[in-house]
Amino acid sequence: MARPGRLGVGIIGAGKVGAILGASLRAAEHAVVGVSAVSDASRERAENLLPGVPILEIQDIVERSELVLLAVPDDALGELVAGLAKLGAWQPGQLVAHTSGRFGVGILNPVRAVGAIPLALHPAMTFTGMSLDLTRLMDCTFGVTADAAMLPIAQALVVEMGAEPVVIAEADRTLYHASLAHSSNHMVTLVAQASQMLREIGVETPESMLGPLLRATLENALASGESALTGPVARGDAGTVSAHVQALREYDGGAGGDIFAAYQAMARATARRAGNRGLLRPEQLNEIDEALGAEPEAPEGN
Task: Answer whether residue 3 shows pLDDT above 90.
Answer: no
Do 207 and 283 reside in the same domain of the chain? Answer: yes
Identify whether the C-beta of residue 36 lies closer than 8 Å to the C-beta of residue 11.
yes
Do 155 and 28 reside in the same domain of the chain? Answer: yes
Do 41 and 163 reside in the same domain of the chain? Answer: yes
Reported confidence tier of residue 298, pLDDT bands at 50, 70, 90: low
Identify whether the C-beta of residue 243 lies closer than 8 Å to the C-beta of residue 267.
no
- Please say which residue of 116, 144, 168 terminates a domain: 168
Task: Answer whether residue 90 shows pLDDT above 60.
Answer: yes
Q: How many CB atoms within 10 Å of residue 103?
A: 21
Do 190 and 283 reside in the same domain of the chain? Answer: yes
Is the residue at 36 inside a domain?
A: yes
Which pLDDT score, from 0 to 100, does residue 257 have? 78
Task: Answer whether residue 1 shows pLDDT above 50.
Answer: no
Domain membership of residue 184 as a residue range: 176-292
Reported confidence tier of residue 4, pLDDT bands at 50, 70, 90: low
- Please say which residue of 135, 168, 201 terminates a domain: 168
Number of domains in the chain: 2
Cβ-based burial of 20 (10 A; exposed 0-12, middle 13-18, buried ≥19): buried
Give the model confidence (pLDDT) of 161-179 as tens digits.
999 999 999 999 999 999 9
- Please say which residue of 115, 147, 168 terminates a domain: 168
Which pLDDT score, from 0 to 100, does residue 296 have? 54
Amino acid type, 94: Q
CATH number at residue 249: 1.10.1040
Give the model confidence (pLDDT) of 187-208 as tens digits.
999 999 999 999 999 999 999 9
Do 136 and 159 reside in the same domain of the chain? Answer: yes
Task: Answer whether residue 5 shows pLDDT above 80.
Answer: no
Is the residue at 251 inside a domain?
A: yes
Identify whether the C-beta of residue 5 lies closer than 8 Å to the C-beta of residue 31.
no
Which pLDDT score, from 0 to 100, does residue 297 have? 57
Reported confidence tier of residue 223, pLDDT bands at 50, 70, 90: very high
Looking at residues 234-247, what average pLDDT do you find? Answer: 95
Distance from C-alpha of 230 to C-alpha of 227, rounded to nearest angstrom: 8
Is the residue at 34 inside a domain?
A: yes
Do 156 and 96 reside in the same domain of the chain? Answer: yes
